[in-house]
Structure 1
Amino acid sequence: MIRAFRALIAVVGVAVVASCGSGDSGMNQPVNKFRSYDGPPVTQIVVKKSDRKLYLISDKSVLKTYQINLGNQPVGTKRFEGDGKTPEGMFFIDRFNPQSRYHLSVGISYPRAEDVAFAAASGRRPGGDIFIHGLGPEGRAINRADWTAGCIAVNDQEIEEIFAMVRPGVPIFIYP
């Protein structure tokens, strides 16, 4: 009798645990943040800081446009570590971080040699780790524009698209 009761409890327990991972609402389902893309190649990225826009471009056609947030000091170009500015100029996409604390992130090749030299001449460091990234939990908790330390932020669904569409070596032009 006790064995039958324990067996029943074990079966009920397994059924309860199994149902947690397959609810109809999808609330407990892991979200796949990696998308596929088979459209035209992104040949350049253009960022217009004053308009708060990022454009993915293939040859001369705009494929996608995104509203963006910038560094917490959005006017002017990045010069030094900790200045809160988003860099300006021509860079390249140079890395991808699928484990970013901001959902996903795509690296920008800042600092360039001239950025390092300028900062060094002032006895300072140029900073680094500039990315296009999503919000992640931290970004979603912030309820204001221009909250990054110098990166370019979009929402999590948008960085999933960008992450899938962009390849290493693509030039990115960041305008004031």
Structure 2
Amino acid sequence: MEVLPVDFAKRLSSSSSRSQQELAIKIKKTHNLTIVLQNGSKRLLKEYITCQGPPFGTPSFSASITPFPGLPLPSLSAKARLDLSDAERLQEDALAFSNLPAFLTTVLRQQTLLNPTATDLHQQLDTSQMQCLGLANNLKSIMASMGIMPGPAVPAEPPEEGSTFAMKTVGYQICQLYQVWASQSQEDLALLVAKYPV
């Protein structure tokens, strides 16, 4: 069996350590981004509700979170997701944030028609869709560094426009789903931060 020269072995070890450190830094930065999205998604949902008028925001109003083709709910509860592999969690997160920009763009287009003077809401929706795209790219980069293949591609299928109330309700549900995935991705990345400390 060939024995590697000491200097070459050291270089291999150094290269491996450097790669691990680069991955850890990438994961940490991405986790920080999920915190930004988590806080932003809460502000967005609050602003969205404020701009829609009654019955949105009233104590009696209730609309369940409905998944859409290309934008599902997390497959398992937060506790049950601990049993998933890192690959499975990252694949789900990457799919959601790859498709969220199309859904948020739909909400922005609808709100431009329904609430043309709600410029703060429009700006938050625009910022959110760009941040989702950034997070999706970061997640894919982490997966590539870890040797994780992308999950099956599922096209985003934002709902067709309907009545005013239907559009407001769909937008509300999409903003809710954004908040759910922002919180879920923060928890998923926190697990990776613990495994790959900087």
Query: With structure 2 as the length reference, what TM-score do the two structures score?
Result: 0.26
- Decide which structure has greater strand share: 1
The structure showing larger relative contact order (alpha-carbon pairs under 8 Å, at least 6 residues apart) is 2
Query: With structure 1 as the length reference, what TM-score do the two structures score?
Result: 0.29
- Decide which structure has greater helix share: 2
